[in-house]
Chains A and B, each alone.
Chain A
Amino acid sequence: MDYTIETQDLTKQYGNLVAVNKLNIKVQHNTIHGFLGPNGAGKSTTIKILIGLLKATSGSATVLGKKVQLDDADSRLRIGYMPELPRFPKHLKGAELLDIYGRMYGMNPVELKEQISKLIELVGLKGRENDLIGKYSKGMQQRIGIAQALLTNPELVILDEPSMGLDPVGMVEVRELIKAISKDGMTVLVSSHLLFEVEQICSHVTIINRGQALVSDTLENVSHKISGPVSIQVEIVNLNQKVISSLKELPFVKEITQKNATLNINLNTREEVREKISQTITSSGGIIVSMSMKGHGLEDIFLELIKSQGAKK
């Protein structure tokens, strides 16, 4: 199968620091792929290699079927890219910037004009398109940054932390926008360190830390396969010390906390153990009124993964 983006042992070193370490990622056609990792994980460095700003120290990357090189203008005809905290020439007006960039893609002026007013509207800059970018706020620069990445309706859109600096409404708008463009058939690679954001829009996710991919799969599989242990909440009538001590003897119980009549039981397994727990409680004289189970969100997986990687080193 062909991928929109595929890297093979991609490595980038800055002197002694290994920013990207034998990274292998695959981004499928027409998916929204979240690229997650903490600060300094190597997300932006990877993206800069993919777009041809940096040269890999070793390994290689293929984007839209072409090997990535440092100065390959033609392959960028099919890619829209929004840099992390983008900065645009202050002396240009918003609409002027889009017009000039659009001409760099060889767009014809009529088509371009239409596209610009559409995008200005879409990113919420209507009424400000004829102001100098030097007078834009941080969030407005971010918005024009998104607009310029979508100018040509490219096959692949790479967004490096698009919601950084946006207000909550702006963040929601950007998520909606990404979902919308994906419906139009674009492939989106979006980096973020905000997990809930990725959870909401992405179909696939790669989690990266210290330049290495910890996991790369569909969002569903990631949650399933490696999500950490779950916890169970049980409300018990007639709760006594015997119930707690016999529960603690179970091999899959890690930790128990009590709050009034409710026990929160942390497990060290993902297997189905509710039956055994219920039996144990009943045989110790407790009466179960309610029981619920909480799976862990991506957030916990993320922290867990990073912690376990840290422990290995």
Chain B
Amino acid sequence: MSETKVSWMKRFWAVVRYEMLWNIRKKMFIGALIFAFIFATLNIALPAALGVSENPYFTVTFSVGSFVFVLFAIVTGAYCISGEYEKGTIIPLLTKPVSRTMVFLGKLFAIFIVILATYGVIYTYTIIGGLLVYGPQNSLHLVPLALLGDILSTFIWVGVVIVAGTISKNSLLAILTTLGLFVALLFGTSIVGQLSDNPGPLNYIPGSGASGTMNVMTGQNITISTVTINTFAATTTGTDSIGVNLIKATLYPDANVNFYYTDIQNLINPNSTEPPRLLYSESITLIAVRSAVFALLYTEILFVAALFVFKRWEISE
């Protein structure tokens, strides 16, 4: 056979198929799916158990949640390159007429499809759950924005776990690094967010970001002991909340989010009279766009770094 031109796309799709079949046949994936459904069910049931009986914004303020982002990133991404190295399957793969860039992008695309499909199913479930438990739901046409946001949030972690894997050639180490970073950021940002009177820098770090209150109170109030939270107004600025913030910004583009400094004493002591001090206000549109841009930026940097390392791998076993 002579050296015929074989299209890039044909080979790329073969890699996508290869990776998709792997992903959906992983036991880990099935486990993560079950976990995500339990989490979604709790989300539907818990406010109802706390006395909320109607909430037209339930679906559009739902997010699969930061832990689920990390979970699916690990399940789909942790083994996708370093795992092939560990198992030795990378040797037959990389000796086919597919370039490493093709393999890398094909795998990422497969992960994208798998996560899109998974979150799609979860959102369908929460729409049905929302309709059944909280009555008619508003703005359901905006759910795709939530889906998009959640995928962006997840892909930061996909980037983290793949970078860690390509550098270390060790999937377990990649998972631990990712979980470690997640937990560190989770605690780090919430402590800084609580104690600091300048939570602004949190806007630029992956994670929950700064917490504020939007000046639109269309949601439902949920009171847990002394603290009342409005399900719509409560806003976090970080890359974990891109979807919800994009929806809020679409619904109320001119709304502002106020950030307060709350002394820790106030939270502990219900009789405290000191009012929270307003630190600053920001437009919800700015918050949503900024977090989306930063998520894209992080993801891109991480993927470029991973590809750079992967292209230089020597496969000797």
Taking Cβ atoms with an 8 Å cutoff, the residues of A that contact B are 14, 45, 48, 51-55, 70-74, 76-79, 81, 83, 85-92, 96, 100-101, 103-106, 145, 148, 152-155
B290 at the interface (CB under 8 A from A): no
Q: What A residues does B25 contact at CB under 8 A?
A: 91
Which of the residues B17, B91, B99, B100 comes within 8 Å of A83, measured between beta carbons?
B91
A91→B26 contact, CB < 8 A: yes
The CA-CA distance from A154 to B2 in the complex, in Å, is 9
**A266 to nearest B CB, angstroms?**
43
B6 at the interface (CB under 8 A from A): yes
Q: What A residues does B92 contact at CB under 8 A?
A: 81, 83, 86-88, 101, 145, 148
B side interface size, CB within 8 A: 35
10 contacts between A and B (CB under 8 A): A71-B99, A71-B101, A72-B99, A83-B95, A89-B22, A89-B87, A89-B89, A91-B25, A91-B26, A100-B14
A71→B314 contact, CB < 8 A: no
Assess A103 versus B13: contact at CB under 8 Å? Given A54-B316, A77-B3: yes
Give per-residue flags for B294-317: 1 if the beta carbon is below 8 A from chain A beta carbons, else 0: 000000000000000001101110
B112 at the interface (CB under 8 A from A): no
Q: Return the chain A residue nearest B88 by Cβ.
A: A87
B102→A76 contact, CB < 8 A: no
Which of the residues B21, B87, B97, B316 comes within 8 Å of A76, measured between beta carbons?
B97
B3→A53 contact, CB < 8 A: no
Q: Return the chain B residue nearest A79 by Cβ.
A: B95
The CA-CA distance from A79 to B1 in the complex, in Å, is 10
**B14 to nearest A CB, angstroms?**
4
Q: What A residues does B101 contact at CB under 8 A?
A: 71
Give per-residue flags for B1-33: 1 if the beta carbon is below 8 A from chain A beta carbons, else 0: 101101100110111011001100110000000
**B18 to nearest A CB, angstroms?**
5
A73→B11 contact, CB < 8 A: yes
A54→B315 contact, CB < 8 A: yes
Q: What B residues does A48 contact at CB under 8 A?
A: 315-316
Interface residues of B in 72-92 (CB under 8 A from A): 87-89, 91-92
The CA-CA distance from A153 to B13 in the complex, in Å, is 22
Q: What A residues does B97 contact at CB under 8 A?
A: 73-74, 76-77, 104-106
Interface residues of B in 88-125 (CB under 8 A from A): 88-89, 91-92, 94-102
The CA-CA distance from A53 to B314 in the complex, in Å, is 6
Q: What B residues does A86 contact at CB under 8 A?
A: 88, 91-92
B96→A104 contact, CB < 8 A: yes
Closest 3 CB pairs of A and B: A106-B6, A103-B14, A87-B88
A51→B6 contact, CB < 8 A: no
**A134 to nearest B CB, angstroms?**
10
Q: What A residues does B18 contact at CB under 8 A?
A: 89, 100
Taking Cβ atoms with an 8 Å cutoff, the residues of B that contact A are 1, 3-4, 6-7, 10-11, 13-15, 17-18, 21-22, 25-26, 87-89, 91-92, 94-102, 311-312, 314-316
The CA-CA distance from A14 to B91 in the complex, in Å, is 19
Q: Return the chain A residue nearest B24 by Cβ.
A: A91
B95→A104 contact, CB < 8 A: no
Q: Return the chain A residue nearest B10 by Cβ.
A: A106
Most buried by B among A54, A70, A71, A83: A71
The CA-CA distance from A100 to B93 in the complex, in Å, is 10
A104→B1 contact, CB < 8 A: no
Other than the known A86-B88, A154-B1, what 16 A-B pairs have Cβ atoms closer than 8 Å? A71-B100, A74-B3, A77-B3, A81-B92, A83-B91, A89-B22, A91-B25, A96-B21, A100-B21, A101-B92, A103-B10, A103-B17, A105-B96, A106-B4, A106-B7, A155-B1
B3→A78 contact, CB < 8 A: yes
A104→B98 contact, CB < 8 A: yes
Which of the residues B14, B22, B95 comes within 8 Å of A51, measured between beta carbons?
B95
The CA-CA distance from A14 to B25 in the complex, in Å, is 37
A104→B15 contact, CB < 8 A: yes
Assess A73 versus B10: contact at CB under 8 Å? Given A55-B314, A87-B89, A91-B21: no
Q: What A residues does B312 contact at CB under 8 A?
A: 70
Q: Return the chain B residue nearest A45 by Cβ.
A: B316
**A132 to nearest B CB, angstroms?**
9
The CA-CA distance from A90 to B100 in the complex, in Å, is 21
Q: Return the chain B residue nearest A154 by Cβ.
A: B1
Q: What B residues does A85 contact at CB under 8 A?
A: 88
The CA-CA distance from A71 to B4 in the complex, in Å, is 18
The CA-CA distance from A19 to B158 in the complex, in Å, is 37
